[in-house]
Amino acid sequence: MEASNRTKHEISPTKSIRCIVKLGGAAITCKNELEQINGKNLEVVCSQLRQSMMPSGKVFGMDWSKRPGISDVSCNVNEFEHQLTLDSHKFIVVHGAGSFGHFQASKSGVHKGGLHQPLVKAGFVATRISVTTLNLEIVRALAREGIPSVGMSPFSCGWSTSGRNIAAADLSVVDKAVESGFVPVLHGDAVHDNLQGCTILSGDVIIRHLAADLKPEYVVFLTDVLGVYDRPPAEPNAVLLREITVNEDGSWSVIKPVLQDMDKQVDFTVAAHDTTGGMEAKISEAAMIAKLGIDVYIVKAATSHSLRALIGELRGNIPDDWLGTVIRILK
């Protein structure tokens, strides 16, 4: 399926995707408050995305809908008259769920499958309502910044899984939207699964699939911490891993900070494995993308560091004053 998609929609170099951005759920929602967007962060994230995609400076708002608590509908048609283009330099946005969807999914066990069970079916519907609510809010926030964003739910795009892998995902719709100058906004979603009936398709898996097929120049993960640490970042001696290289066999090693001796390196690796399983999984996911020759930047959202990553400043050398984690192939 994937192979045939690739054949059908061969990407020529001139048309290639510049960047796929993951808006981490923790960065754009308030993790501990049900269905609460982190509006301030989201606004900065959208503004940085605009600066990265369309350096012209002027903002042409594209959300002409009513907003609760705001009386005016913002739509100034004349603004657009002397604008030559609003094309978006080929970005794709994928967002996580944060405090949207998780409650509904875990209450019902959608991720465990069994769509014939009434509770799972109800949870599937409830999860989709929650995550599409977030998707619409993110599309609107991007549009207010003048980014021609279009929401694309994996479920309605016909994406499905087989186990944890993507079984069907026709990327031609995403591709066509990008070619027309839009910025597709996808998200983690409840989808059909060939083996267990249904599951949750995560934003990270979507990113990996998009990256493998569309070969962006780089991928940016926006998170709520500076990058990847060797242990939970709240712990006193946590060390930010600045640069990780991936070998051809998929294994990876930390090359910055430089570790003093071999013994320490081993301890360190074990520690990373044991205490930060979440991060280990994240590195593995990112390593699979990096293995394709695509640089991956994991960086704190809404900081000067995220802006530098998004505009592509890190493509050559990583400046010493940049804080974040780079994961790339060993050259």
Residues of this chain that bind its own copies (CB under 8 A): 34-35, 60, 62-66, 68, 73, 75, 77, 80-81, 83-86, 103-104, 107-108, 115-119, 121-126, 128-130, 132-133, 136, 139-140, 143, 148-153, 155-158, 170, 172-173, 176, 180-182, 192, 197
Q: How far is the CB of 322 from its own copies (least distance, A)?
A: 33
142 vs 309 by CB, closer to its own copies: 142
Q: How far is the CB of 215 from its own copies (least distance, A)?
A: 21
Q: How far is the CB of 147 from its own copies (least distance, A)?
A: 8
CA pair distance 41, 212, nearest whole angstrom: 29
Q: How far is the CB of 95 from its own copies (least distance, A)?
A: 15
191 vs 222 by CB, closer to its own copies: 191
21 vs 191 by CB, closer to its own copies: 191
74 vs 247 by CB, closer to its own copies: 74
- Transcribe 53-78 into DSSP letters: H-TT--------S-BTTB------GG
Contact between residue 158 and residue 192 where contact means Cβ atoms under 8 Å apart = no
CA pair distance 92, 42, nearest whole angstrom: 16
Element containing residue 45 per DSSP (H, E): helix 39-53
b (16+ CB within 10 A) / e for 280-311: eebbebbbbbbbeebbbbbbbbbbebbbbbbb
Partners of 327 in the β-ladder: 244, 296
Q: How far is the CB of 165 from its own copies (least distance, A)?
A: 18
Name which of 184, 180, 181, 178 is nearest 156 in CA terms. 184
189 vs 295 by CB, closer to its own copies: 189
